[in-house]
Amino acid sequence: MDKVRIQGKASLHGVISIEGAKNAALPLMAACLLTEDSVVLDNLPYLHDKKTASFQAQTIKTSQAPYDIVRKMRASILVLGPLLARSGEAIVSLPGGCAIGARPVDIHIRGLEALGAEITLEDGYIQARAPRGLQGRRYTFPKISVTGTENLLMASVLAKGTTELIHAAREPEVVDLAHFLNHMGARIEGIGTDTLVIEGVSRLHGTTYSVLPDRIETGTYLIAAAITGGELFLEGTSLNLLPSVSSVLERMGIQLEERQGGIWVKSPPPRELLGIDIVTEPFPGFATDLQAQLMALMTLVNGSSLVTETIFENRFMHVAELMRMGAEITIQGHSALIRGVPFLKGAPVMATDLRASVSLVLAALAAEGETLINRIYHLDRGYQDLEQKLAACGAQIERITEHQKPLLEAVV
């Protein structure tokens, strides 16, 4: 199993290209099931030689998404709405993914039932049928759900009549999906608000569309610059994608500037930054997917910080590993009090989920000595070429395998 080895205390300087957003690309790919025409998606992540791919679901050979596929990624639940809308039936396994807390699918099920679907749960599968097609209705989400909003949005574009989704998620990835569907011929109004009105159409057509930049990758590298007291230009992204995060970083003392083609960020050493209190919230609030990364920075700033997590109940699993490196963190319920320390010290640590993994990378970049991060397979699900991008900006970082002895000198 691969590990990452980091020799800390190297300030980052240079240019980092931001990839297309995984959390936007996945629903766009699922939405390709809604048309028999060809769809071309540009700026896709994880395509090393090219960024463009063509999709065509001319015929739906099966309406079943099996467990072996769905268990690997919770976002696979997003095929439920498109399959049901296009084929009149869908059999989708209950999902898997990072162990960061309960993410129930009942919101998806109740919403689709409101549109006329008949749904049962059997042997770990959601079995949905709409033999007479889906019917537009008003549905109010009991709580904000990004994937719930995306699933119902995709299902409703082919429903008969008008659908009104109340208390819908407003995340940039939802906005991107709505614009994409409109490019395919859907009729969606209220994009970017918490009320989406969809007038059903009989069919969608093909299109060419570019995936929006990854705001979580953007935020991660902004924090990487800050925790190392560095200066970076993040290419192909925008501060508009993370308004709350940029506001928090600026209040801490980090310089951010929107420039042509990307974002410029410059920071003094972490001990010259100020502690701050945050609460994770749905967009436009502070993203839960950046909470662990910001906490790594908070361990080194001047003063105390308070993080309150309101989205996932198990998202403090990185705390114990940060404390192994010398962080002073106290957890009480859904809040973590972080007291800034003069330095962190490298240590063997264990990654527990995607965002926790990268928070340990950030902490290791600033720590004294060597850090060895185990179980880094989580990283590859969310960060393309992480080691190469950091090394190109001055980080002493390398990936090692189970059968490879650690090198005496880090790869720069």
> What's the pLDDT score for residue 49?
57
- 71-75, 113-117, 297-301 — which is least confidently predicted? 71-75
Backbone angles phi, psi at 67, to 5 degrees: -60, -40
Q: How confident is the model at residue 171 (pLDDT cuts 50, 70, 90)?
A: very high
CATH topology of domain 3-19+213-400: UDP-n-acetylglucosamine1-carboxyvinyl-transferase; Chain (3.65.10)
Annotated active-site residue 98? The verdict is yes
For residue 409, pLDDT over 50 is answered with: no
For residue 66, pLDDT over 50 is answered with: yes
Q: What is the mean pLDDT of the chain?
A: 91
* Tens digits of residue pLDDT in 5-36: 999 999 999 999 999 999 999 999 999 999 99
Q: How confident is the model at residue 65 (pLDDT cuts 50, 70, 90)?
A: confident
> What's the pLDDT score for residue 48?
57
List every span in the chain annotated with CATH 3.65.10.10: 3-19+213-400, 22-210
> What's the pLDDT score for residue 370?
97
Q: Render 148-206 in DSSP notation, one character per residue.
A: HHHHHHHHHTTSBSEEEEES----HHHHHHHHHHHHTT-EEE-TTSSEEEEE--S----
For residue 64, pLDDT over 70 is answered with: yes
The CATH homologous superfamily to which domain 22-210 belongs is: Enolpyruvate transferase domain (3.65.10.10)
> What's the pLDDT score for residue 61?
81
- 86-100, 277-291, 300-314, 333-347 — which is least confidently predicted? 86-100
For residue 103, pLDDT over 70 is answered with: no
**Residues in Cβ contact with 50 at an 8 Å cutoff, skipping those fewer than 6 apart:** none
* Tens digits of residue pLDDT in 365-394: 999 999 999 988 888 878 999 999 999 999
* Tens digits of residue pLDDT in 194-227: 999 999 999 999 999 999 999 999 999 999 999 9
Average pLDDT over residues 50-74: 79
Residues in the chain: 412
> What's the pLDDT score for residue 407?
43
For residue 93, pLDDT over 90 is answered with: no
**Residues in Cβ contact with 408 at an 8 Å cutoff, skipping those fewer than 6 apart:** none
Task: For residue 210, give the H/E element and its range.
Answer: strand 208-210
Q: In this predicted model, which residue has the larger pLDDT, 62 or 49? A: 62
For residue 408, pLDDT over 80 is answered with: no
**Residues in Cβ contact with 142 at an 8 Å cutoff, skipping those fewer than 6 apart:** 107, 110, 167
Q: Whose CA is closest to 322, among 298, 301, 305?
A: 298
Task: Find the DSSP H helices in 170-324.
Answer: 172-183, 215-227, 243-252, 291-298, 319-324
Q: Render 57-92 in DSSP notation, one character per residue.
A: -SS-S--EE-HHHHTT-GGGGGGHHHHHHHHSEEEE
CA atoms within 13 A on the CB side of 377: 7
d(CA 23, CA 354): 13
> What's the pLDDT score for residue 212?
97
Q: How confident is the model at residue 71 (pLDDT cuts 50, 70, 90)?
A: low
The CA–CA distances, whole Å, from 78 to 42, 92, 393 equal 20, 9, 36
Q: Supply the pTM of this predicted model.
A: 0.91
> What's the pLDDT score for residue 1?
74
Q: Which of 26, 78, 80, 98 is catalytic?
A: 98
Strands across the sheet containing 64-65: 64-65, 89-93, 125-129, 118-122
Six token digits for residue 31: 């939405």
> What's the pLDDT score for residue 99?
42
d(CA 211, CA 197): 23
